[in-house]
Amino acid sequence: MKSLHLLLAVMLLLGLSACYKDKGNYTYHNINDIAIETSDTITTTYGDTLHITPILHQQFSDDESPLSFEWSVLVGTSNLDSTYQLLSTTRNLNMPITVPSQSDYYALFYRVHNSATDITYTKIIRMAVTTNYQTGWLALEQSGAQDDISFINTVQNKVYHHTYSHANPGNPMPASATGVYNLDIPAFQSSNGTVHKSSFTAALFANGGYVLDVKSMKADVDYTQLFMNAPQPVAPSFLGLDLNAEMTTINNGHLYRRVMSKENTFDNAYTMADSSDYQLAPMNANTSNSTTLYFDVLHHRFLKEVYKTRLLNKFTPQTWYSFDPSNVPEQPLALGIGYYKYYQYGVFKVPDMDSCILYSYSQGTPLKRTVMHNSPGVASSQAFVFSTIRYQLYYGAANFLYLYDIQANSAAPVYTFAAGETITAMMANGTTGMEVATYNGSQGFVYSFAFTSTGEIDDTQTTRYEGFDKIISLSYKK
């Protein structure tokens, strides 16, 4: 009986609602939908002005007065830490792009808001950002009152002259620069929070140095900021890697190594295991499977890095050594790694003589002392390159490039430059070639050489770049 009463009540309500008439006054408008037409994918170069003029297709009216605009880009290393960076609120985009270049695409958002309908329309564009300074050679030049860095883009086969001064107009490089470096490291956290991944680029001068942004070449970190405690005095002379591919620096003759557990900064200076003093030459010879070699100019001795410590150790004389590593009277010209990175070499000039000594090590063990015979001009060479796949090294004297056969103890010219050109810097390009810088008194040049299978110069693959000042240092940047 109760169910019957409920059913009758429901039917009564339905009947009453059927008799109700909606007397509201409603006006319906067609929505002026907007379709955004522009490229789905674009490519731009870091620092260049990007021009985008979208076409707006409005369904009923072309009036753009109710419209507002926004350009933004999603920036971050992952979805978790990405944020929107506002670029512009103009209809069209005309502005320099300063987000870092990267291998992946950025998401560029173009939003159009219609205030009449309160509807926002969005177009997502895939934006690739490249840089002119991505792959090629850094060339440190002496340029009179101030030094400079130019960049050779080997992908574009183009030279960007005076790259540093253009990127840093208010921060000229002192005329005491000593070297430009590019090191492959996992990451580097400086004291101002800047992170450099994979490619660490820096220039050193007499009383300081700059870490350079790898995209723009701007000086964004001072050398002293790489230390937990800035050293005194500040007198950097070298940046390199040790056997663990950890970054090291030589400042005021003392060795420092970065500490990954302490914000990736340089810790206190290395000390000698026997508590003696030392003064390192600005060079090292590191391998992946043995100790890293240094040379102490204070006591004329080779030193080795003690694994997993902050100690340098001298060599203990052994009867099977062919020379005494703690008694080297000659002057160091170069240290480097050789045949398949098992061998370490040092070229030393005999004082007051036009001759050199080649010291050889096998995986950190003293091997041989060789007087370099039949090697014209080797004592005057300003640069050396050691082959890592052959028992060979290259050096320059006057306008000749020489190839020295270590086993035969003899050198022969493999390339002759124009009269008046002298070799000022050299660096290997992996195992396939090398770059050689020359200067003729008024202009500098860079030659890109390829090797033959025997280490000779392949003349058919030589490229020459012009218009430099005097180049004193080269470094390859991936």
Domain boundaries defined on the chain: 34-130, 133-269, 392-478
* Rounded-to-integer distance, Cα 333 and Cα 363, Å: 21
Q: Which residues pair with 271 in a beta bridge?
A: 311
Alpha-carbon torsion, ordered 217, 223, 227, 232, to 10 deg = 180
Is 397 in contact with 406 (CB distance < 8 Å)? no
Calculate the CA 356 to chain-centre distance.
Answer: 34
Q: Which two tokens stand for residue 387?
A: 């082959």
* Rounded-to-integer distance, Cα 435 and Cα 444, Å: 13
**pTM of the entire structure?**
0.81
Residues in the chain with pLDDT < 70? 1-29, 77-81, 103, 186-198, 244, 260-264, 288-289
Is 71 in contact with 106 (CB distance < 8 Å)? no
Three-state secondary structure call for residue 33: coil
The residue type found at 333 is L
Return left, alpha or beta for 252; rule: phi > 0 is left, psi -120 to 50 is alpha, else beta.
left
Q: Which two tokens stand for residue 284?
A: 């090292």
How confident is the model at residue 412, as a pLDDT? 97
Residue 289's Cβ-count burial label (10 Å; 0-12, 13-18, 19+) is exposed
Domain 34-130 belongs in CATH node 3.90.930.12: no
Count other C-beta atoms under 10 Å from residue 393's C-beta: 25
